[in-house]
Amino acid sequence: MSDMTTIARPYAKAAFDLAVEKGELAAWAEMLTFAAEVARNETIQEILSSGYAAEKLTEVFLSVCGEQLNENGQNLIKVMAENGRLKALPAVCEEFMLLKSEHEKTIEAAVISAVELNDSQLEAISEKLAKRLDRKVKLTCSVDETLIAGVVIRAGDLVIDNSVRGKLSRLSDTLQS
């Protein structure tokens, strides 16, 4: 996947720079998300792998995307088709979202808990993460009873495992060494 990231990074950076310049970050995020979903479609993937000419791929892709893409979004699709890079659209979207989050100083954090957390607990977690990471934090919550108790928080590269299962695992590792 790192190969696809290397391919996607310059396209994402160019789209991001244009979006910032024109003040259209949210619009670009929507366009790229939509285009990435189209590129993930099995039928579209078959067409992209078929070896059609760039003009035909552009025509097919833009006919599917319709009015979801503005003129600049359509130009991105044309350039990527000419370079045979339309398969990289999901990675372009992912890279763009990372740049957008960095620019807006936001981060998405996944909170996995053994039981459903109440609003005050979620607010406390959000405040502490925001202070630690110096960013606005958006929480995505889920429940996993196998944790026994506690929470696991994933925010970017940061993983905080404060679950009983995690503590038992670390204790087991310590006792075995």
- Quote the pLDDT of residue 104: 80
The amino acid that residue 172 corresponds to is S
- Give CA–CA dist 32/29, Å, rounded: 5
Cα 7 to Cα 49, 88, 93: the distances in Å are: 17, 7, 12
Report the b/e string of 144-165 with b at 16+ CB within 10 A.
eeebeebbbbebeeeebbebeb
Read off the pLDDT band of 1 (50, 70, 90): very low
CATH number of 2-102: 1.10.520.20
Domain segments of the chain: what residues? 2-102, 105-176
- C-alpha 17/C-alpha 27 separation (Å) is 13
pLDDT at 129: 87
Distance, in Å, from the CA atom of 177 to the CA atom of 168, rounded to the nearest integer, reads 14
Report whether pLDDT(94) > 80: yes
- Render pLDDT for 15-57 as a digit per residue (tens, 0 to 9): 899 888 888 888 899 999 998 888 888 888 888 777 778 788 8
